Amino acid sequence: MMRQYELVERVTSYDPDADEVLLNRAYVYAMKAHGHQKRASGDPYFSHPLEVAAILTELKLDDATVVAALLHDVVEDTESTHQEIEELFGPEISQLVDGLTKIKRLDLVTKEAAQAENLRKLLLAVSRDVRVLLVKLADRLHNMRTIEYVKQEKRARIAEETLDIYAPLAGRMGMQTVREELENISFQVLNPDAFETISSRLERLREESGNILADIEVELTKQLGEQGIESEVTGREKRPYSIWRKMERKHLSLGQLSDIFGFRVIVPTIDDCYHALGISHQVWHAVPGRFKDYISTPKQNDYRSLHTTVIGPHRMRVELQIRTWAMHDIAERGIAAHGLYKDAPNAKMAEAGSVVPATETNAYRWLRRLLDLLAEGDSPKEFLEHTKLELFHDQVFCFTPKGDLIALPSGANAIDFAYAVHTDIGNSCVGCRVNGRHAPLMTELQNGDEVEIIRSKAQNPPAAWEGLAITGKARAAIRRATRLAVRNQYAGLGKEILERALSRHGAQFSKKKFTQALPRLGVSATDDALAAIGRGEMASSDVLKALGIESEIKTTKKAPKPGRRGKAGAKKRSIAVRGVSEDLPISISSDTGAVPGERIVGILTPGKGITIYPIFARALQEYEDEPDRWVDLTWDEREENERYPARIKILVHNEVGALAQVAQAIGENDGNIENLQMVTRAADFYDLDLSIEVLDVRHLNRIMDALSAQSLVNSVTRSNA
């Protein structure tokens, strides 16, 4: 276990002005607070926060963050309180510890909804101070390093969560070393056989390569040195999980991978980066299509480097990553390298403009966009879906006609591009030009594409766009616009219902009076109240009372029960159902009919009312993506001998008397034929489509049984069009 003075020396090695007294006090306090507590491994519990603090010193974080790491479990697991932490260590450290305590249970998440809610809590804490995320990532890293001591049934769950959330988050923050280690340990837990196979193959490759890697390092350094470029060249090997993911993504075997071994070439200046690139391409053959310039167009996590692949010494394919010391520091430590403590990085890593405040980095702006999704009202589950979409995509870089750079996930299309520029542009988008040519909106964009969005003020984004969009921002905006459009339709229908109700009492609709009555209805917005009337959630009679207009109830007729409709349908029949406002027009689908005793649902069409369908109707499939239009209905008490329509199909023999048998069977069983149509007629059979009136589903079944018993009837089925 690391000694007290060792921790202090680690911090002061990169931050000479660190508060040594504060670090010593936190070390002693945490050690005493955890006392004799033990971890599952049997080690003293204090070893865990100490190791988390050690990880943060490797990332060269400030003394306050290291202290927060030492204290991150004391409020959760000991008798310490936030008030005590604030009194002893100040408000800054107290807030960091408080943010970490609130998300402590993220480690124990099992269900997706709970995971989503806890991710939301994590990012809200991060919005106040990004260092909360860095401590949390270090905490998860040490827990993964000791996962073999966790109970077997929990390991897979923790590893899966790490691979889904924490490793991608570390990557988006630019912390590649943390991300790779989290991925590798998770991979070993979740797929031990594949991990062992790849690790064994890598070991054999190392043995077969012998001194080749060392030879390449020497040769690269020599070639650059001869051209006056001072460089540090180091070989690296891909991690098993990175290899596995590439094999899965590109459907390759291990032997087909060309970049298992790569080299980092670190030079003093940006000019040296491009000079070194030119030298490498002159000395060795470049592999076409394998060059990427992340210096001119950095990744979303602020990563900057030149990537190229050449046929190097020994005819081996070699991937080169050429960068400056400052770029290398950001590539390794990510957001932790961006001015999170009071002094800049050491002189060797400094370059003009390299020290950027954390709040101005691309990685931090990405976090802010996620928080904007939260603020715009998406449910935690939707937020988790959007976050995962953005975490797992690589990038393409496109341009507006004015030359502005727009970074998008790979696979993104013009719809995503429009919403990335601005939500209003996405909502009004009707078409696009890609590189000057008209193209479909779902065209997948490529690096360097120039995209021009064609707009119309009359446009509203179709709901189907949500399935076409790739980015979380676009999907969330489309969903909100769709909900708003539906709400406006309901509000229009609600206004019509209210105007009819007012006219029956000799009054007219006044928006001013209606707005004044809203407090009595418990609603704050006019459109919300009108939409509630349109959806049947608020009765117009309640609105009339709120407006001071008393409803006239005729004593000569029995008042309808709540949820029942009066006259509706082609014959103005009374439809006895519950679950819908009495002011809403209601009818039964003429395609299928619907009878008491079978389960029914309603589909609301703004401006027309509700149409009733039996649950088996195929027509309902058209509304599966519009859940807001579905109304749950049940049959109510009916008047005696009240009849309802049902459509049936009958296949009969083409013989004399067949139609008479059908009519006789229906009549003898007290049915009434409302409509009859001959659909098809052949030499032997013909199809009849009948709409009959029955009392309920039992009455209908009795008629269908009687029809089936007729000698000239081949089959009888219920229409489910």
DSSP 159-207: HHHIIIIIHHHHHHTT-HHHHHHHHHHHHHHH-HHHHHHHHHHHHHHHH
Tell me: pLDDT of 535 over 60. yes
Catalytic residue among 19, 20, 43, 77: 77
Per-residue DSSP letters for 286-333? Answer: EPTT--EETTTS--TT----EEEEEE-GGG-EEEEEEEEHHHHHHHHH
Which has the closest alpha carbon to 92: 133, 63, 51, 135? 63
Q: pLDDT per residue over 307-328, tens digit each? A: 998 887 777 788 899 999 999 9
Beta-strand relationship, 437-439 and 609-614: unpaired
Greater pLDDT, 478 or 631? 478
Nearest to 278 by CA among 301, 308, 256: 308
Return all residues near 632 (Cβ < 8 A) that are at least 6 apart. Answer: 579, 601, 602
Residue 557: phi and psi, rounded to 5, are: -125, 145
Q: Which of 9, 76, 203, 271 is catalytic?
A: 76
Is the Cα dihedral 246, 250, 256, 261 positive or negative?
A: negative
The pLDDT of residue 308 is 92
Lowest mean pLDDT among 478-487, 550-559, 597-606: 550-559
Q: What is the pLDDT, as a whole number, of residue 186?
A: 93
How large is the angle between the packed helices 63-71 and 47-58, nearest 10 degrees? 160
The rounded distance, in Å, linking the Cα atoms of 666 and 710 is 11
First to last CA, the chain: 73
Instruction: Answer whether residue 66 shows pLDDT above 90.
Output: yes
Q: Is the pLDDT of residue 354 over 70?
A: no
- Please tell me the predicted confidence (pLDDT) of residue 111: 52
Query: Is 452 tagged catalytic?
Result: no
- Tokens linked to 144: 């993964």
Q: Distance between CA 38 and CA 41 in Å, rounded? A: 8
426-460 as b/e: b if 16+ CB within 10 A: bbbbeebebeeeebebebebeeebebbbebeeeee
pLDDT at 107 over 80: no
CA neighbor of 109 nearest in space, from 47, 60, 165 = 165
Angle between helices 112-128 and 362-375 in degrees, nearest 10:
120
Is the CB of residue 613 less than 8 Å from the CB of residue 594? yes
CA separation for the pair 581, 563 (Å, rounded)? 6
Residue 339, pLDDT > 70, answer: no
The CB density around residue 219, as the number of other CB atoms within 10 Å, is 17
Domains, the chain: 4-195 (1.10.3210.10), 196-339 (3.30.460.10), 481-546 (no CATH), 567-635 (no CATH), 644-718 (3.30.70.260)
What pLDDT is recorded for position 110?
41
The 10s digit of each residue's pLDDT in 116-171 is 666 666 666 666 777 888 898 999 999 999 999 988 888 988 898 888 888 888 88
Contacts of 232 (CB under 8 A, 6+ apart): 221, 265, 266
Strand ranges, E, within 338-476: 395-399, 405-409, 429-434, 437-439, 451-455
Give the C-alpha separation, 358 to 368, whole Å: 12
C-beta separation of 362 from 301 below 8 A: yes
Q: What percent of the chain has pLDDT over 70?
A: 82
Secondary structure (3-state) at 403: coil
Question: Residue 76: its pLDDT value, please?
Answer: 85
Helix (H, G, I), strand (E, B) or coil at 549: coil
Decide if 76 is catalytic: yes
Query: Which whole-number Å values give the CA distances from 389 to 134, 469, 549, in the listed order?
Result: 22, 11, 53
Give the per-residue pLDDT at 371: 61
Q: Which residues contact 670 (CB under 8 A, 6 or more apart)?
A: 695, 699
Task: Give the least confident one: 59-68, 76-85, 371-380, 588-597.
Answer: 371-380
For residues 51-55, average pLDDT: 94
pLDDT reported for residue 649: 92
Does the pLDDT value for residue 179 go beyond 60? yes
Count, residues in the chain: 721
Q: Which amino acid is at 2?
A: M
pLDDT of residue 582: 64
689 strand-pairing partners? 649, 677
Name which residue leads in pLDDT, 366 or 108: 366
Please check the confidence at residue 2 and state whether its pLDDT lies above 90: no
Range with the largest mean pLDDT of 94-103, 171-180, 369-378: 171-180
Whether residue 114 is predicted with pLDDT greater than 70 in this model: the reply is no
Residue 568 predicted with pLDDT over 60: no
Q: Which of 238-252, 360-374, 423-437 has the lowest mean pLDDT?
A: 360-374
Provide the edge-to-edge strand list for the sheet that holds 429-434.
437-439, 429-434, 451-455
Say what the pLDDT of residue 102 is.
56
Edge to edge, what strands does the sheet with 672-681 contain? Answer: 672-681, 685-694, 644-653, 713-718
pLDDT surpasses 60 at 616: yes
Indicate whether 14 pLDDT > 70. yes
DSSP 628: G
Please say whether the beta carbons of 489 and 534 come within 8 A: yes
The residues near 407 (Cβ < 8 Å, ≥ 6 apart) are 297, 299, 300, 362, 395, 396, 397, 420
β-pair partners for 605:
609
Contacts of residues 156-162 at CB distance under 8 Å and 24 or more positions apart, as own/partner, are 156/189, 156/190, 157/110, 158/107, 158/189, 159/185, 159/186, 159/189, 159/190, 160/186, 160/190, 161/109, 161/115, 162/186
Q: Residues 375-423: pLDDT tens digits?
A: 554 555 555 655 655 555 566 778 888 877 787 877 889 999 999 899 8
Which of residues 554 and 13 earns the better pLDDT score? 13
